[in-house]
Amino acid sequence: MQVTPAADPQMSREDFLMFRDFIHEKCGIFFAENKTYLVRNRLVKRMADLGIKTYRDYFYHVKYDTSLKEFNALLNLITTNETSFFRNEPQLLSFSDEVLPLLIDEKNKQCGQKRLRIWSAGCSTGEEPYTLSIIIHEKIRDLTNWNVEIIANDISEQVLQKARRGEFSGITMRNVRPDILTRYFTKTGDLYRVNPSVKSLVNFSHMNLNDPRRTSVNSNLDAIFCRNVMIYFSDEVKRQLTRNFYNALRPGGYFYIGHSETLHGISKAFKLVYFKNALVYHKEATGVAATAGTGHTATAQTAAKPAGSSAGVSSGASRALDLLSKIKPVSQHK
Ligand SMILES: C[S@@+](CC[C@H](N)C(=O)[O-])C[C@H]1O[C@@H](n2cnc3c(N)ncnc32)[C@H](O)[C@@H]1O
């Protein structure tokens, strides 16, 4: 849409810093100064719609709106919600064919009801948690003796509303195999509705990942997926959040971040594990609570194969390994 000059004021450095610091404080998202145009472009149409002429006026409009309506509108403007079903196949293959069988084996050794808890942090419109639910259905055909919970949250109420509806169409479905479409979706016109069995494992709720009181509530998780979310956060927020993720995982749990992301310089608490399809962060069975700082005392940051392997590389190499894994096959986990 063409924006009229009256509704398109120049954004001064002061205006930019005012919004940048506010957004960072509230939700952890950090815009470098070379992203001024992006912040400006996202605000200018909203300001025109509201008839607000200056960034400062809009800032106060957001800040002093006690209903939080405008803050939520701002969040919707500045967050990137891109997602899709079965996003990044290698990571999901590592979960479905390697990590999940390990978890299932462990749970099968326990008596009584088997519990599996997974957290999709920054779930956007729901494709990630629904994909995880489908994978679990595929791997555990009879869920009678299982108590499976996928906790899914996001800061944006708008995306959560869509996630709860569970209706999808178009490009987000591009990686869904036809047999999966048949088994787990009901098609009406162009719309694919997620079946109730898939929905029933997923619990959507609002959460600001930049609120340590909220992110420290979850515990005893088997796996956490926080893919393509922390990439927008400052290092300071990433460190705090990663500590809480570490503490929320049970010893032996797994942590997935986006395939182009790394914990290098953020946390030394996890071990990076080679699986055939992807590298995954792992909280060792002996893991102790992570405290402030980039890591905790017990574990060096090493890339390792899962139990039984002797391979390991030095601490600073995780990013290099991320890259290496894309060009050179890594040995297969037994
Ligand atoms: C690019 S999407 C990633 C979705 C999904 N994890 C994936 O990889 O496909 C990033 C999501 O993180 C959410 N987000 C950003 N900041 C957040 C915060 N402070 N707390 C919770 N969610 C946040 C955004 O609203 C957005 O839906």
Best mutation site among 31, 155, 238, 245 for ligand 1, i.e. most ligand atoms within 8 A of its Cβ?
A: 155
Closest listed residue to residue 209, CA positions, set 161, 155, 150, 269: 155
Rounded CA separation 236/126 (Å): 27
Q: Where are the domains of the chain?
A: 5-78, 89-327
How many A from CA of 123 to the centre of ligand 1?
6
- Give pLDDT tens digits for 156-179: 999 999 999 999 999 999 999 999
Residue 331 in tokens: 């040995």
Ligand 1 centre to CA of 314 (Å) is 31
For the beta sheet containing 202-206, the strands, ordered from the edge strand earlier in sequence to the opposite edge, are 202-206, 146-154, 114-121, 221-226, 249-257, 279-282, 271-274, 303-304, 312-313
Q: Which string of DSSP letters, residue by residue, matches 28-89?
A: -B---GGGHHHHHHHHHHHHHHHT---HHHHHHHHHT-TT-HHHHHHHHHH------TT-SH
Q: What percent of the chain has pLDDT over 90?
A: 81
Residue ID of nearest Cα to ligand 1 atom 11:
122
* Ligand 1 centroid to residue 214 C-alpha, Å: 16
Burial of 90 (0-12, 13-18, 19+ CB in 10 A): middle
The residue count of the chain comes to 334
pLDDT at 165: 98
Question: Do the first three CATH levels of 5-78 and 89-327 match, i.e. the same topology?
Answer: no
For 47-87, how does the pLDDT look when each residue is reduced to its tens digit (9 = 90+)? 999 999 999 999 999 999 999 999 999 999 999 999 999 99
pTM of the predicted model as reported, rounded to 2 decimal places: 0.87
Paired residues of 56 in beta bridges: none
| Ligand 1 atom closest to 209 (CA) | 20
The pair of structure tokens assigned to 226 is 């926080």
Yes or no: is domain 89-327 CATH 3.40.50.150?
A: yes
* Whole-angstrom distance, CA of residue 98 vs CA of residue 332: 10
* Ligand 1 atom index nearest CA of 75: 25
CATH number of 5-78: 1.10.155.10
User: Could you tell me the distance, in angstroms and rounded to a whole number, from the CA of residue 34 to the centre of ligand 1?
Assistant: 22
User: What is the model's pLDDT at position 292?
Assistant: 57
Judged by DSSP in three states, 117 sits in strand
pLDDT tens per residue across span 233-245: 999 999 999 999 9
Judging by beta carbons within 10 Å of its beta carbon (0-12, 13-18, 19+), is residue 290 exposed, middle or buried?
buried
Cα 12 from chain centroid?
Answer: 33
**Ligand 1 binding site (Cβ under 6 Å of any ligand atom):** 27-29, 79-83, 87, 122-124, 128, 154-156, 159, 207-210, 227-229
SS3 content of the chain, % helix, strand, coil (to 5): 45, 20, 35
User: For residue 74, which of 53, 96, 104, 44 has the smallest C-alpha distance?
Assistant: 44
The residues, ordered by sequence, that sit 6+ positions from 250 with a Cβ below 8 Å of its Cβ are 219, 220, 221, 222, 283
Give residue 46 CA to ligand 1 midpoint distance, Å.
Answer: 21
- Measured in Å, residue 228 CA sits from the centre of ligand 1 at 7
Mean pLDDT rounded to a whole number for the chain: 87
Mutating to test ligand 1, I would choose from 154, 164, 256 the residue with most ligand atoms within 8 A of its C-beta, which is: 154
